[in-house]
Amino acid sequence: MSEAIEAFISKVFKEALSGPRIFKNKNVLFHDYIPDNLPFRENEIRKIAYLLSNLLKGYRSSNLFIYGKPGTGKTAVVKYTLKKLLSIANEHGKKINVTYVNCRLAGTEYRVVASMALDVGVSLPFTGLSVEEALSRFINKVTSDQLPLLIVLDEIDSLIIRYGDKLLYTLTRFSNDTNNAIPYMIIGISNNLTFKEYMDPRVLSSLSEDEIVFKPYKPEELEKIIEDRTSLAFYPGVVDKDVIKLVASLAGAEHGDARKALDLIRMAGEIAESENYEKILVEHVHKAYSTLDRERLIEAISTLPLHSRLILLSLYKLLKNNNGTVKSSYLYTVYQRYAENITKGVLSYRRFLGLLSELNVLGIIDRKLENYGRRGGRVSLVRVSIPIEYLERVLREDPIIGELFNVGP
DNA sequence: TTTCCACCGGAAAATGAGGTCC
DNA sequence: GGACCTCATTTTCCGGTGGAAA
C-alpha cells in the first residue's frame, strides 16, 4: 500500500475521533429506520391499526391495498403499525404469524415464497423445489400453527408484472379452501397502479377490499419531518432553519419525496464533516444535491454487467471528441472488437440490442430512430445522455475496462 | 401505391450452474 | 445417480416498422 494512502487513512480515522462532531446518530437518516413518530400519517395509521386489530381478535380482516409515490411513507407506516401490533400482541400473550417481503428485492416468485416461509419458521432451499411445493410447505406450516396470519407484500407490482397473479390468487383463496381456515389479512403495497391490468378482476377485488392512497408530502410537511429527524440525527446548532427549508424545497420539487430529503441532509452532513465544518451550510446542501445524482449514476454504471460496460466503452471511444450520435450497427462492430479482446464470447446482435435498451431505460444513453428510406433503411442512433466526463471517470476506474481504456478499438 | 431497407423487439427455446429429492 | 427444479443469461426466429425510392 502506498504511503499516501496510509497517510490518508490515518488522517480520516484520527479526524473521526478528534474533529468536529456533527452527527449524533446517523442511523436515523437511513431509509430502514422506523421513527417513533410519523407526522401527517395519523389517519393512515388509524385505518391500518383498525384493520389489524381484527387479527388480534381472531377474525379475518379485509385485505388492504396501499398505493402512493416513492417516499410518501407507505412502508414506514406499515412497519410502524406492525411493530406496535406485535408489541401489544406480545404483552397480551397473543401470537400472530407475520411475514413482510419486498417483492422487488426478493426478485422471483420462488424467493418471495421462500422469504414468507422463513418468516413463519420454515427454511426452504435456495433452489431445487417448485414454487408449488414451496407454497404448499408455507401453507402447511401456517395452517398447522392455527395462528392469525398477516402477509405484507411490498412493491407487489414487480411480482405481478413479471409472474402474473397466480401466487396472489392462491394466497387470497387458500384459507377459504382449507378445513382449518385461519384468520388472515394480506397487505399489498405499490408505487404505481399500472400493474392492475395484469391481474384477474377477482384477485384484484379480493386484494383491494380496502384501499389507502398515500398523497405526497407538502413542502411544509416535509420541513417538519426533516426538522424532527435532524433533531435526532445531529447535535444542536448543526442544522439551521434555512438549511431545512432548502432541503424541503429541493425534495418537494420531486413529488414530496421524504427519502430524498433525508438522503440530501445526510449527504450534506457528510460533506460538512469532511470539510471540517461544525454546521451544515446552504452550500453543502447544493453540493450534496448535485453529488447525489452523480454518485447514483456512477454506482449504476459500475455495477452493470461486463458487456454493458464494454458497450459504454465503445460508445465513449466513438463519441469522446464530439457530442454526436452513432449508428447502433456500427457501435456493435466496435463492441465486437473490444469483446474479442477481453473475453471469448461476443454477444449476439439481439442481446446487444437488449443491453442497449437497458442502458436507455437507465438514462445513460439515448436512442432515436431515424429513417433514411429505401436506400438507407431505418437506423437507430445512439448518444450518451450523461456528461461524458462522468462516463470517462467510471470506465477509467473499472478494473477490467480500465485496462482497455488506452487501447483503440 | 408498393417495395425495400435496416433495424426493433416479443416470444420461445437453449444453456449452464446452482440445487433437491427419492 | 438420475430426474427434476429454479434462475439468469443468451440465442434463434420472425413479424413488425417508417418513410424514401421506385
Q: Per residue in A7-57, pLDDT tens?
A: 777 776 676 666 557 888 999 998 889 888 898 999 999 999 999 999 999
Distance between CA A34 and CA A40 in Å, rounded?
15
* pLDDT recorded at residue A45: 96
How distant is C1' of C4 from CA of A277, in Å?
Answer: 62
Predicted confidence (pLDDT) at residue A178 exceeds the cutoff of 60: no
Position A220, amino acid: E
What pLDDT, on a 0 to 100 scale, did the predictor assign at position A228? 92
Task: Among all protein residues, pick the one whose CA is nearest to the C1' atom of B2.
Answer: A374
- The answer to whether the C-beta of A125 is closer than 7 A to strand C is no
- Tell which strand B nucleotides have any atom below 7 Å from a protein Cβ: 3-11, 17-21
- Per-residue model confidence as pLDDT tens digits over A67-111: 988 889 999 999 999 999 999 999 999 999 999 998 888 878 888
A244 touches strand C (CB under 7 A): no
For residues A186 and A225, the answer to whether their CB atoms sit within 8 Å is no
* C1'-nearest nucleotide to the CA of A332: B7
Position A343 scores a pLDDT of: 66
Residues whose CB is below 7 A of strand B: A 125-129, 327-329, 349-350, 353, 356-357, 367, 369, 373-380
Written as nine digits, the cell of A203 is 384477485
Distance CA A368, CA A105 (A): 32
Cβ-contact A267, A259 below 8 angstroms = no
Q: Is the CB of A110 under 7 A from strand C?
A: yes
d(Cα A303, Cα A308) in Å, to the nearest integer?
Answer: 10
Confidence of residue A374 (pLDDT cuts 50, 70, 90): confident
Q: Which of residues 372-391 of A touch strand C (CB under 7 A)?
A: 372-375, 377-378
How far does the CA of A405 sit from the C1' of B10, in Å? 35
| Distance of alpha carbon A107 from alpha carbon A34, whole angstroms | 24
Distance of alpha carbon A3 from alpha carbon A9, whole angstroms: 10
Task: Give this prediction's pTM.
Answer: 0.80
**Which cell goes with A273?**
464533516
Burial of A144 (0-12, 13-18, 19+ CB in 10 A): exposed
- Cα angle for residues A102, A105, A107 (degrees, 5° grid): 110
Q: Residue closest to B8, CA→C1'?
A: A353
Residue A187: left (phi > 0), alpha (psi -120 to 50), or beta? beta
A402, pLDDT greater than 70:
yes
Q: What is the pLDDT of residue A179?
A: 56
- Decide if pLDDT at A266 tops 80: yes
Output the distance from A376 CA to C1 C1' rounded to whole Å: 58
User: Locate cell 436506400: which residue?
Assistant: A375
Residue A290 binned pLDDT confidence (cut-offs 50, 70, 90): confident
Looking at residue A44, what is its pLDDT?
95
Asked whether residue A64 carries a pLDDT value surpassing 90, the answer given is yes
A279 and A244 Cβ atoms separated by less than 8 Å: no
Nucleotide closest to residue A367 (CA–C1'): B8
More confident residue, A279 or A10: A279
- Measuring from the CA of residue A348 to each C1' atom, give the nucleotide at the shortest distance: C11
CA atoms within 13 A on the CB side of A102: 9
**Nearest protein residue to nucleotide B20, judged by CA and C1' positions:** A128
Q: Residue A96's pLDDT is what?
A: 94
Q: Summarize the confidence of residues A322-342 as an average pLDDT.
A: 84
Q: Which of residues 262-321 of A touch strand C (CB under 7 A)?
A: 305, 307
A307 CA from C17 C1′ (Å): 28
